[in-house]
Structure 1
Amino acid sequence: MSTTGEKGSTTAKTPADFLKSIRGRPVVVKLNSGVDYRGILACLDGYMNIAMEQTEEYVNGQLKNKYGDAFIRGNNGLSKLDFTWK
């Protein structure tokens, strides 16, 4: 929770608010398998399905593939998803 400082008003940011704010921005999606997908976050749903554009796949830090669009299924055994933005 953050406060604005004016007249004691507070604004709470939810995870959904955060994800909406980074839509259309460059992100890195790290999977437990060690594979990173870097690209533009197009959308994300409640099942953690992720659609990305201009996606690059990195394995152990090495570029392996480039994709125009990519879809990562959230229910496909992903136990951890780490978003960072550039």
Structure 2
Amino acid sequence: MSGPETVKPVPEAPPNQGKKTPRDFLKSVIGKPVVVKLNSGVDYRGVLACLDGYMNIALEQTEEYVNGQLRNKYGDTFIRGNNVLYISTTKRR
């Protein structure tokens, strides 16, 4: 039998050297116009008011687009995170 093994500590990840994380991106677009694409293919365009760790999203001045066509305009909108495919920035028309 050999002696006790020494356990080497796991090296820490290097600091985030100028690279943006998804969290950094999401923080940077709060208060700005975004497009939220749902799994169903519907797009919601509006100003990102806030979001949480589950990707639940609150939008203001929201427009709903189905197949690229404007369908509805809403004031404030809440989108449940499990429906979100992606969030992207956009220029408002």
Please indicate the TM-score interval, normalised by the length of the shorter structure. Answer: 0.7 to 0.9
SS in structure 1 of the partner of residue 81 of structure 2:
coil
Tell me, yes or no, if structure 1 residue 27 matches structure 2 residue 34.
yes
TM-score by length of 2: 0.73
Instruction: Work out the CA distance in 1 between the residues paired with 2:67 and 2:20.
Output: 33
The answer (yes or no) to whether the contact 1:31–1:82 under 8 Å persists in 2 is no
Q: Post-superposition, which runs of at least 4 consecutive aligned residues in structure 1 deviate over 6 A?
A: none
Aligned-pair CA distance for 1:15? 1.2
- Measured on the aligned residues, the alpha-carbon RMSD in Å equals 1.5
1:44 corresponds in structure 2 to 51
Higher percent of residues as strand: 1
SS in structure 2 of the partner of residue 20 of structure 1:
helix
| 1:5-84 correspondence runs (5 A) | 10-75=17-82, 78=83, 80-84=85-89
TM-score by length of 1: 0.78
Q: Percent identity?
A: 76
Structure 2 gaps, min length 5: 1-16
